């Protein structure tokens, strides 16, 4: 039986960047509407069963309310702690249930947590966060169709592994954490409000992607290399004098000048050792996660075998070629 998981983060699109920048608030009722459209797309694609992560707002329940559908919908049996750990555990439970695809609603931070638990399950990320580089700005109906066809095995060639950054705190070869888009050394003592928005406090960056037109930290790399990074490579940047200064949108409506001392490409497997004499934090995908004591160190490694992600437009094209829309 083809099964798809749905993880909708009720907290995405609401962090402090609504105060320090100009990020828009992504209302939970709109997430309900998106999930409802995803469900319609899944049913049209021939999916039979849906597993939904429960949440504090009841996004899944509200989406199902009054919806005429033949889908067998079930909610994961899991305790809620109302933290990002809920999304990771939900993804792991869905992977254990052999879902054919996981649809996520959130930004880079939400998808990073899901990627830590989803294993080999393909992701169909829908953008509902602040910095949205990893997820797609795509209509929910189309995302549901794409996820459904992937779950049914119609478009396996439209699922591609994307790079990630592995974070190591010691000599062990098992990462302690990951980032999907950016890992940033930031001159603050504490995790506090998590988000980063002051370009003058950036010390070092490792990026997995530098496409022009991105928002957030990856825009700095895109402007520094003019979108000309070698294919399949990431990018290391160190802030400071002696190099160039680039202007970049590091958050919605927040455009700042960043001084760069150096930058260089990173091939898969390349590592960067982070060590500072002043206290700082490591932010992963736009959110502070790890406090670094003076003199401590960690390693950041480029990994080209990150989560498997659905290309929705490629899926739709393959489905059409296979006659899935013919009646």
Give domain limits for the chain. 3-162+307-321, 164-303
CATH number for the segment(s) 164-303 = 2.60.200
pLDDT band at 131 (very low <50, low <70, confident <90, very high): low
* 28 Cβ contact partners less than 8 Å away, ≥ 6 residues apart: 10, 57, 59
Of residues 85 and 11, which shows the higher confidence score?
85
Q: What is the reported pTM?
A: 0.94
pLDDT digits (tens, 9 = 90+) for 90-123: 999 999 999 999 999 998 999 999 999 999 999 9
Stretch 238-265: mean pLDDT, rounded? Answer: 94
In the chain, the percentage of residues whose pLDDT exceeds 90 is 80
| Banded model confidence at residue 305, pLDDT cuts 50, 70, 90 | very high
Predicted local confidence at residue 190, as pLDDT: 87
Does the domain at 3-162+307-321 match CATH 1.10.3470? Answer given as no
pLDDT at 21 > cutoff 80: no
Task: Categorize the per-residue pLDDT at 18 as very low, low, confident or very high, splitting at 50, 70 and 90.
Answer: very low
For residue 296, is pLDDT > 50?
yes
Write the CB contacts of 199 (distance below 8 Å, at least 6 apart in sequence).
250, 256, 257, 258
42-91 pLDDT, tens digit per residue, is 999 999 999 999 999 999 999 999 999 999 999 999 999 988 899 999 99
């Amino acid at each position: 039986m083809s099964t798809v998981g749905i993880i909708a983060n009720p907290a995405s699109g609401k962090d402090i960047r609504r105060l320090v920048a100009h990020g828009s608030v992504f209302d939970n009722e709109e997430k309900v509407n998106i999930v409802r459209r995803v469900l319609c797309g899944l049913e049209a694609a021939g999916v039979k069963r849906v597993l939904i992560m429960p949440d504090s707002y009841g996004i899944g329940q509200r989406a199902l309310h009054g919806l005429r559908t033949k889908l067998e919908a079930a909610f994961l049996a899991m305790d809620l702690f109302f933290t990002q750990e809920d999304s990771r555990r939900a993804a792991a439970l869905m992977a254990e249930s052999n879902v054919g695809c996981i649809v996520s609603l959130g930004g880079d931070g939400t998808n990073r947590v899901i990627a830590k638990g989803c294993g080999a399950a393909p992701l169909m990320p829908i953008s509902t966060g602040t910095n949205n580089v990893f997820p797609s700005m795509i209509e929910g109906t189309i995302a549901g169709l794409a996820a459904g066809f992937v779950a049914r095995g119609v478009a396996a060639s439209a699922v591609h592994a994307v790079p990630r950054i592995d974070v190591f705190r010691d000599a062990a070869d098992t990462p302690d954490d990951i980032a999907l888009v950016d890992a940033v050394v930031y001159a603050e003592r504490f995790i506090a409000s998590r988000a980063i928005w002051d370009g003058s406090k950036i010390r070092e960056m490792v990026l997995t992607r530098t496409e022009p037109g991105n928002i957030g930290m990856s825009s700095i790399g895109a402007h520094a290399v003019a979108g000309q990074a070698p294919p399949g490579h990431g990018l290391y940047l160190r802030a400071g004098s002696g190099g160039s200064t680039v202007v970049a949108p590091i958050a919605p409506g927040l455009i700042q000048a960043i001084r760069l001392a150096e930058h260089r490409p990173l091939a898969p497997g390349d590592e960067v050792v982070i060590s500072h004499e002043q206290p700082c934090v490591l932010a992963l995908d736009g959110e502070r996660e790890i406090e670094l004591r003076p003199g401590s160190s960690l390693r950041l490694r480029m990994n080209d075998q990150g989560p498997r992600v659905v290309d929705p437009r490629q899926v739709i094209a393959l489905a059409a070629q296979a006659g899935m829309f013919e009646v």
